Amino acid sequence: MPEIVFDNVEKSFGAVRVLEPFNLHLDDSEFTVLVGPSGCGKSTTLRILAGLETLSGGEITFDGKPISHLDPKARDIAMVFQDYALYPHMNIARNMSFALRLAKVSKSEIDDRVKRTAELLNIAHLLDRKPAELSGGQRQRVAMGRAMVRDAGTFLFDEPLSNLDAKLRAKMRTELAEMRNTIDKNMVYVTHDQVEAMTLGDRIVVMANGRIQQQGTPEELFKSPVNRFVAGFIGSPTMNFLDGELTEADGALRVRGDGFDLPLPEALATRGRAHAARTVTLGLRPSSVTLDTVPGAEIELRVVVSEYLGAQSVLVTRCGDEEVLVEANSATPIAPGTTRAFGVLTDELMIFDRESGLRI
């Protein structure tokens, strides 16, 4: 359970820079989620931490001790792979005990630990089978069991749920969240699914293009994203972005664009005034748009599609040429094709510099 510090770590494959130099501090017994779109460098970061890739610069320390020169086995790390990577010629019990057998743990202790872990994961009845005879979900459990049985200080998960179907994924996600509370270890989890990141992570690190965009608790990322990318990545349905301009009228700062003209709340207006740029992008969460009209803060939207999800509906609407998603209570039926005014909760508005993408 070391305290893991990335100090100016960078990685290039030949001439291609896949990770810009970055610093990252993972506290003891913290569940960290690295999240980002494909090719953002999150898996590479994990593999560097695991020792499967070498780093091109910088250093990683565990409790202050540099470890980047060490073999994976010397780092006290267990890893769950995206596509399970079970040894197909060994049965489940032998798969799980492989590391212990290599470490020359006594046979009785191996049996004991395998049995205990298998019971914890509900795979005790599968111990004699081969991986090929198992379903995807069962294989995933075995892969996790293989990591857990070792009792390593740090657990790494490389998109462990991405090969499961939606229902199983939700179930395993819950189980993982439960496991996180009972196991006192460092866990680093890589995913491209922001829902997984939000539900599991104590700390989320959002990555894109080989850079860390932002790190923080799920709430911090949702409520105060540093830039447009993070704002668009975190939250479901995704945030709407509308290009507009800041204008001053009657002492109030407003953001005006094609089909909307909204007042900004005082705090945001102060920051907006201090900001030189006038061309901005308005960020509007689907949940910030309501069916009830709000006096003075309204937006005219034409409903294109209504996606019924049960209690909630997601309305796909148009504001000018831009698409705007609205999360609405499905009790009020809205027919596609109608144009009506929606209220906007201006307190939840965000504005971004259109050039740099940074939040103002």
Partner 1 sequence: MAARDTNAPNPAFYALLVALVVMSAGPIVLMLATSFKLNVDIMSSTAGLFFMPTIQNYETALCDMLWYEVEHIRRCDPTFGRALVNSLIVATVSTALTLIIGCMAAYALVRFRFMGRDTVSMTTLMMRMVPPAVLLVPVFGIWTFQYGIDGTRMGLILIYTAMNLPFVVWILQSFIVQVPIQLEEAARMDGANPFQTFFLVVLPLIKPGLAAAAIFTFRVAWNEFLLGNALADRNSRTVPVTIVNSLTEYDIDWGVIMATGMLLAVPPIIFTFVASRQIITGMTAGAVKG
By CB under 8 A, name the binding residues for partner 1: 50-52, 71-73, 77-79, 81-89, 98-99, 102-103, 130-134, 136, 139, 146, 150, 163
Residue 34 or 221: which CB sits closer to partner 1? 34
Question: If you search the block for the tokens 């111990």, which residue do you land on?
Answer: 127
- Please state the closest distance from residue 11 (CB atom) to partner 1, in A: 17
Residue 56 or 82: which CB sits closer to partner 1? 82
Cα 248 to Cα 270: distance, rounded to the nearest angstrom: 12
- DSSP-derived secondary structure letter, 318: E
360's enclosing H/E stretch is: none
Residue 50 or 345: which CB sits closer to partner 1? 50
User: Distances from the Cα of 132 to the Cαs of 112, 138, 165, 206, in angstroms?
Assistant: 25, 11, 18, 35
- Please state the closest distance from residue 310 (CB atom) to partner 1, in A: 31
Residue 164 or 206: which CB sits closer to partner 1? 164
- Please state the closest distance from residue 102 (CB atom) to partner 1, in A: 5
Residue 95 or 215: which CB sits closer to partner 1? 95
Contacts of 117 (CB under 8 A, 6+ apart): 96, 145, 148, 149
Residue 130 or 211: which CB sits closer to partner 1? 130
Residue 132 or 276: which CB sits closer to partner 1? 132
Question: If you search the block for the tokens 């799980």, which residue do you land on?
Answer: 96
* Cβ proximity of 294 and 343 under 8 Å: yes
Contacts of 286 (CB under 8 A, 6+ apart): 237, 238, 239, 240, 314, 325, 326, 327
Nearest to 160 by CA among 147, 152, 151, 149: 147
Cα 15 to Cα 262: distance, rounded to the nearest angstrom: 47
- Please state the closest distance from residue 115 (CB atom) to partner 1, in A: 19
- Please state the closest distance from residue 73 (CB atom) to partner 1, in A: 4
| Neighbour count for residue 341 (Cβ, 10 Å) | 12
- Please state the closest distance from residue 155 (CB atom) to partner 1, in A: 11
Q: DSSP assignment of 266-309, as one string?
A: HHHHHHHHH----EEEEEE-GGGEESS--TT-EEEEEEEEEEE-
- Please state the closest distance from residue 105 (CB atom) to partner 1, in A: 11
